[in-house]
């Protein structure tokens, strides 16, 4: 029997960067070429799909013949002819290029809700989404349910906001629904500003229609007729796919006037963020949509009472909204069967940093960190020692090895001094300096503080100055206590979430890695060998062959020596860039 | 320039958009926000230039100075940071002979700028060269690309 053949090429941001576009073209070319075309072209459809999660192995390609699927990893254009010839024409998969056990481990322990169609369907084809039951939930909601029914379904599911704060979504909708106002707004917050996080980007790139469907349902529940997606301009591919998806949804009358033959009107506009982290905060985001500097204001009144242009406004995160169609389709009990007592459902995380299988994952709430890092993530790169995992970005904290059994849910992570946040997880190993990491985040929050309130504007600057001194070897006794004291004050006195959480990276690194701070301050030593001012580079005479590689690589001209004789680094000229260490093949450069 | 500014203003009026939109379009057309553009809009709309600059300096997307013909964007997200982006940036700065605080080369050929996070963390460290994404960047590969850009300019001249 002749089976249909499907080829799926990963074209998320990771896939595109690794050459996904070229690989897809190569498949199209190869298959349409003479001889091959006649035998298979009509049955074979290569297409693009969104993020598959395991971006470290991109370009990932699925070849599906009938019911049998083989996934290839690290696919390059020159591998395509052989895959087409042996696998597609002769039904002999090229197993040496197929994914291995780690790919299956990566996927098998996940529980996909939001990502269930992401990476399987063509994100630019509304029919592909319809084929996996897309827009069925929205149709059912607007044609046969009352807003109150929708809200009670979402409340029963236990869905909480995925943007960081974890506020119950159903409750938010209920309050907005009760507001007696002619105009209400629903805003999708896609201003994913946390460095180290790309969940929302991947969801929009991989399945934009799920977000749109979630927005239709949400808007119906609260009685909004206009929606906005506030999305970062730094995400060009996501913006492009979202635009196309909105156009297609309008054509199908899923958006616009009298949606699906009912009296309900709803349309969605895209607003491009202009690059300000603080605009993830609700009131700042609203100011930005209104065309002003994105500065937060004091709450209350909360946006559900007075938001955009003074009207009741619900702001939900991308992942929250993308959960909604699946909850409406499969029922609240199904959703609530995942996760823990207080944190229901699943959560998407971006695991990156010093981890083998870096990428995008979705797991049930409550899964222990250890399982994410070792079973799904495959452990630490290069066989080095795990040191900490940073969760929640600049508002979160670092969790050390002895707390790896902490379950990942809103309450448990807060208990250990971090947060779930939007879902970024950056894994750090023994070569990362925790004081440097704290400094990195303070540089970020200092730059992104809007400047409206004093504790945040001046507090983050002073914290950063102290951290800079410590990493330069100019730390003083009492610095740690000062950092702690200021952190507590900044958290208490700041106006918005940015300032209230900015000290978290400092507090959590002091709590779990105080000895590293002490080594910097008391011994003027950076144990991880990161802080430049505390390092010296020297040549180990017994290993140096005098090849001259370091001498040529040194941008400062700090290395002297004759050919075939041990070289010397002049510490007064050395700029500590590490170029010599990188080029030395004989391990003769020592960093301490 | 006036003609271009007029058409941006027309689009703005038609869409009933806000001044962020106006500045984004201007940036799209000119690559930065020329002083003349802000003065023109301020006059036409009766809005103080300070309001435009207030918005322009708040968001990192806007630039008040002309930028180079080629734009290299260095991602400074957490994953890129721990994967050594700082050293790669320093290497590029040396190659481009950029002084402290300088972003654009003297000949206006290349601008090297930092962004918070481009959200491609699993292929860190990430650089964008003229909007094309380069993942798992190494010093060698970046220098090769930069020299290719610089060399191409040499041939044109």
Residue B84: which CATH number? 3.40.30.10
CATH no. for A434-522: 1.20.1440.230
pLDDT given at position A347: 97
Domain ranges of chain A: 5-99, 126-336, 346-429, 434-522, 536-591
CA separation, residue A336 to residues A159, A310, A316, A449 (Å): 8, 35, 19, 37
Nearest to B119 among A235, A437, A582 (CB): A235
Q: Are residues B14 and B34 in the same domain?
A: yes
CATH topology for the A5-99 domain:
Glutaredoxin (3.40.30)
For domain A536-591, say whether CATH 3.90.550.10 is its number.
no
Q: Are residues B150 and B113 in the same domain?
A: yes
CATH no. for A126-336: 3.40.50.11540
Cβ contact, residue pair B18, A290, below 8 Å: yes
Tell which of A293, A355, A448 to mutate to test the B interface (max B CBs under 10 Å).
A293
Examine domains A126-336 and A346-429 and report if their fold is the same.
no
Q: Could you tell me if residue B65 is inside a domain?
A: no
Q: Are residues B7 and B27 in the same domain?
A: yes
The number of domains in chain B is 2
Q: What is the pLDDT of residues A35-78, one digit of tens each?
A: 777 677 678 878 999 888 898 888 999 999 988 999 999 999 99
A567: nearest Cα among A546, A553, A590, A589: A546
Whole domain around residue B20: which residue ranges?
2-58
Q: Which chain B residues touch A535 with a CB distance below 8 Å?
A: none
Q: Are residues B83 and B14 in the same domain?
A: no
pLDDT given at position A43: 80
Show which of B58, B81, B106 is a domain's final residue: B58
Structure tokens at A163: 């943007």
pLDDT given at position A67: 87
Q: Which chain B residues touch A581 with a CB distance below 8 Å?
A: none
**How open is the CA angle A242-A248-A251, to the nearest 5 degrees?**
145
Q: What is the pLDDT of residues A138-188, one digit of tens each?
A: 999 999 999 999 999 999 999 999 988 899 999 999 999 999 999 999 999
Tell which of A59, A74, A274, A578 to mutate to test the B interface (max B CBs under 10 Å).
A274
The Cα–Cα gap between A168 and A164 comes to 12
Q: Burial letters for B95-128: b for 16+ Cβ neighbours within 10 Å, e otherwise? A: bbebeeeebbbeeebbbbbebbbbbbbbbbbbbb
A147: nearest Cα among A225, A224, A221: A221
Sheet holding A5-10, edge to edge: A44-49, A5-10, A61-65, A68-72
Q: Could you tell me if residue B105 is inside a domain?
A: yes
DSSP conformation class of A556: T
Q: Burial level of A36, CB count in 10 A (0-12/13-18/19+)?
A: middle
Nearest to B78 among A195, A201, A582 (CB): A195
ipTM of the complex: 0.92
B108: nearest Cα among B150, B58, B82, B69: B69
pLDDT given at position A72: 96
Give SS3 for A435. helix
Q: Are residues B54 and B75 in the same domain?
A: no
Share of chain B above pLDDT 90, in %: 78
The Cα–Cα gap between A592 and B69 comes to 41
Q: Burial level of A552, CB count in 10 A (0-12/13-18/19+)?
A: exposed
Cβ contact, residue pair B59, A390, below 8 Å: no
Q: Are residues B78 and B151 in the same domain?
A: yes
CATH no. for A346-429: 3.10.20.600
Nearest CA in chain B to A18: B135
The Cα–Cα gap between A14 and A25 comes to 17
- CB-based contacts of A9, cutoff 8 Å, min separation 6: A15, A20, A23, A24, A27, A46, A47, A48, A49, A59, A60, A61, A75
Nearest CA in chain A to B57: A293
Q: Are residues B97 and B141 in the same domain?
A: yes
How sure is the predictor about B154, in pLDDT bands with cuts at 50, 70 and 90? very low
Average pLDDT over residues B1-7: 92
Nearest CA in chain B to A431: B82
What is the sign, positive or negative, of the torsion defined by CA atoms of B36, B37, B40, B45? negative
Q: Are residues B52 and B84 in the same domain?
A: no
Q: Are residues B35 and B9 in the same domain?
A: yes
| Segments of chain A scoring below 70 in pLDDT | 1-2, 34, 38, 41
Cβ contact, residue pair A582, B139, below 8 Å: yes
User: How many contacts (CB atoms, under 8 Å) link A and B?
Assistant: 138
pLDDT beyond 60 at B115: yes
Show which of B31, B58, B85 is a domain's final residue: B58
As a whole number, the mean pLDDT across chain B is 91
Please name the helix (run of DSSP H) or strand (run of DSSP E) that holds residue A123, with its range, or none.
Answer: none
Q: Could you tell me if residue B16 is inside a domain?
A: yes
Contact by Cβ (8 Å): A367, A402: no
Structure tokens at A379: 């452990």
CA separation, residue A10 to residues A62, A116, A377, A463 (Å): 9, 15, 20, 43
Q: Which chain A residues touch B126 with a CB distance below 8 Å?
A: 17
DSSP per-residue letters across A379-423: SBGGGPPEEEEEESGGGSEEEEGGGTT-B-SHHHHHHTT---TTS
Q: Are residues B84 and B137 in the same domain?
A: yes
B134 CA: distance to closest CA in chain A (Å)? 6
A448: nearest Cα among A234, A291, A275, A283: A275
pLDDT given at position A534: 94
Q: Are residues B36 and B97 in the same domain?
A: no
Q: Could you tell me if residue B146 is inside a domain?
A: yes
Nearest to B58 among A16, A293, A358 (CB): A293
Structure tokens at B91: 């290497």
Q: Are residues B74 and B54 in the same domain?
A: no
Nearest to A195 among B58, B77, B139 (CB): B77
Q: Could you tell me if residue B64 is inside a domain?
A: no
pLDDT given at position A24: 95
Nearest to A352 among B17, B115, B121 (CB): B121
pLDDT given at position A78: 95
């Amino acid at each position: 029997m002749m089976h249909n053949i499907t080829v799926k090429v990963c074209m998320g941001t990771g896939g595109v960067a690794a050459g996904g576009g070229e690989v897809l073209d190569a498949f199209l070319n190869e298959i349409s070429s003479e001889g091959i075309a006649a035998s298979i072209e009509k049955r074979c459809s290569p297409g693009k799909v969104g993020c598959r999660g395991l971006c470290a192995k991109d370009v990932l390609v699925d070849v599906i013949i009938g019911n049998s699927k083989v996934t290839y990893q690290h696919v390059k254009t020159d591998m395509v002819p052989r895959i087409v010839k042996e696998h597609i024409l002769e039904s002999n998969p090229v197993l040496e290029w197929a994914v291995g056990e780690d790919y299956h481990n990566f996927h098998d322990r996940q529980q996909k809700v939001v990502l269930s169609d992401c990476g399987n369907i063509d994100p630019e084809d509304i029919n592909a989404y319809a084929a996996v039951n897309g827009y069925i939930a929205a149709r059912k909601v607007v044609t046969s349910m009352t807003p109150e029914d929708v809200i009670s379904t979402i409340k029963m599911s236990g869905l909480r906001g995925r943007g960081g704060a974890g506020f119950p979504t159903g409750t938010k909708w209920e309050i907005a629904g009760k507001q007696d106002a002619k105009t209400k707004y629903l805003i999708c917050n896609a201003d994913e500003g946390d460095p180290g996080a790309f969940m929302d980007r991947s969801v929009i790139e991989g399945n934009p229609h799920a977000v749109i469907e979630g927005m239709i349902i949400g808007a119906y529940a609260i009685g909004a007729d206009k929606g906005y997606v506030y999305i970062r301009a730094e995400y060009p591919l996501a913006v492009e796919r979202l635009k196309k998806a909105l156009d297609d949804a309008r054509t199908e009358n899923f958006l616009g006037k009298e949606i699906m033959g009912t009296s309900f009107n709803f349309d969605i506009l895209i607003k491009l963020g202009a690059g300000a982290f603080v605009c993830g905060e609700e009131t700042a985001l609203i100011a930005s949509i209104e065309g002003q500097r994105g500065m937060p204001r004091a709450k209350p009144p909360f946006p559900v009472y007075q938001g955009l242009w003074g009207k009741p406004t619900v702001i939900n995160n991308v992942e929250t909204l993308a959960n909604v169609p699946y909850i409406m389709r499969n029922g609240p009990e199904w959703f609530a069967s995942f996760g823990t007592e207080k944190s229901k459902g699943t959560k998407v995380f971006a695991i990156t940093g010093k981890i083998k299988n870096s990428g995008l994952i979705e797991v049930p709430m409550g899964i222990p960190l250890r399982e994410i890092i070792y079973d799904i993530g495959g452990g630490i790169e290069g066989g080095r020692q795990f040191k900490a995992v940073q969760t929640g970005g600049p508002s979160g904290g670092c969790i050390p090895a002895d707390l790896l059994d902490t379950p990942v849910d809103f309450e448990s992570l807060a208990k250990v001094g971090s947060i779930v946040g939007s879902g970024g997880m950056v894994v750090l190993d023994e070569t990362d300096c925790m004081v440097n990491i704290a400094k990195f985040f303070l540089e970020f929050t200092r730059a992104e503080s809007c400047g409206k309130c004093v504790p945040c504007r001046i507090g983050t600057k002073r914290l950063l100055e102290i951290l800079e001194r410590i990493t330069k070897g100019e730390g003083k006794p009492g610095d740690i206590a000062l950092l702690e004291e200021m952190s507590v004050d900044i958290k208490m006195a700041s106006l918005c979430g940015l300032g209230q959480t900015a000290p978290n990276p400092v507090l959590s690194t002091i709590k779990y890695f105080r000895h590293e701070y002490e080594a910097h301050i008391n011994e003027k030593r950076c144990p991880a060998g990161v802080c430049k001012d505390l390092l010296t580079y020297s040549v180990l005479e017994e290993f140096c062959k005098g090849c001259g590689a370091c001498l040529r690589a040194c941008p400062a001209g700090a290395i002297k020596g004759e050919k075939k004789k041990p070289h010397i680094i002049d510490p007064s000229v050395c700029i500590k860039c590490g170029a010599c260490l990188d080029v030395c093949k004989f391990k003769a450069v020592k960093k301490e | 320039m006036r003609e271009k500014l007029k058409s941006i203003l027309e689009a703005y009026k038609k869409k009933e958009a806000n001044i962020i939109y106006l500045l984004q379009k201007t940036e799209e057309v000119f690559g930065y926000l020329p002083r003349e553009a802000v003065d023109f809009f301020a006059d036409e709309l009766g809005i103080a230039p300070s309001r435009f600059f207030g918005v322009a300096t708040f968001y990192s997307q806007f630039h008040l100075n002309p930028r180079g013909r080629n734009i290299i964007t260095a991602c400074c997200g957490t994953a890129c940071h721990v994967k050594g982006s700082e050293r790669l940036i320093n290497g590029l700065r040396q190659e481009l002979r950029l002084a402290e605080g300088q972003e654009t080369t003297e000949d206006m050929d290349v601008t090297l700028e930092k962004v918070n996070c481009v959200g491609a963390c699993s292929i860190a460290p990430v650089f964008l060269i003229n909007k094309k994404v380069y993942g798992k960047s190494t010093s060698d590969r970046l220098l090769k690309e930069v020299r290719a850009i610089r060399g191409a300019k040499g041939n044109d001249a």
